[in-house]
Structure 1
Amino acid sequence: MLLIFGTTLRNRILTVVRFVCEYCRTDASQQVTENATKVSVFFIPLFTVSRRYSVACSNCGGVTALTKEQATSGMQWAERNRPVTN
């Protein structure tokens, strides 16, 4: 029996926030992302084996690792500070 299995990396943008980048010192958009490694069989993802969070500067591309709590806090902050549109 031939069983094809492996892992895949799924990247998901959780939110976009705007603040001063620690690398380039520019006030720029920052993407908060979740990177999940999933085990798959026959190219169908079954379960997640790890999750990592990071923030990436849209100006210089600098990436900083985040904890899950920091990513969640960033999402909550972005939701509270979203501009009101009519």
Structure 2
Amino acid sequence: MFFIFGLRTRVDRSGVVQQMCRNCGNHAAQVISRRSTKFTLFFIPLIPVRTRYVQQCSFCGAQYDIAKAEARRLPVG
């Protein structure tokens, strides 16, 4: 008997906000996304392993992790 297992990451875009970038300092669109990684067994996602919230600058492309509270606080438009 054999088992097929692994990890799968799903990226959900939460929205876009206009903010000053921490990296380049330009006022540009910042894409907020949620990345959730789950343990899979036979290609069926079962157990959530990790959830991260990421903010990415559309001008310079830099991305950095943000807290869940900060991701929910941002006025998404």
TM-score if structure 2 supplies the norm length? 0.90
Equivalent residue number for residue 2 of structure 1: 2
Larger of the two Rg values belongs to structure:
1
Q: Does 1:23 align with 2:10?
A: no
Q: Which runs of 5+ in 2 are unaligned?
A: none
Equivalent residue number for residue 61 of structure 1: 61
CA-to-aligned-CA distance 1:26-76 (integer Å, 9 cap, x gap): 1111111111111111111112111011100001011121111011112xx
Distance across 1 between alignment mates of 2:28 and 2:40: 36
Greater helix share, structure number: 1
**RMSD over aligned Cα, in angstroms?**
1.1
Equivalent residue number for residue 72 of structure 2: 72
Distance across 1 between alignment mates of 2:62 and 2:38: 25
Bigger relative contact order (CA 8 A; separation at least 6) = 2
Percent identity (aligned)? 35
Greater strand share, structure number: 2
Could you say what secondary structure the match of 1:46 adopts? strand
**Count of residue correspondences:** 77
Equivalent residue number for residue 39 of structure 2: 39
Amino acid corresponding to residue 32 of structure 1 in structure 2? I
Distance across 1 between alignment mates of 2:14 and 2:44: 23
Q: Which runs of 5+ in 1 are unaligned?
A: none
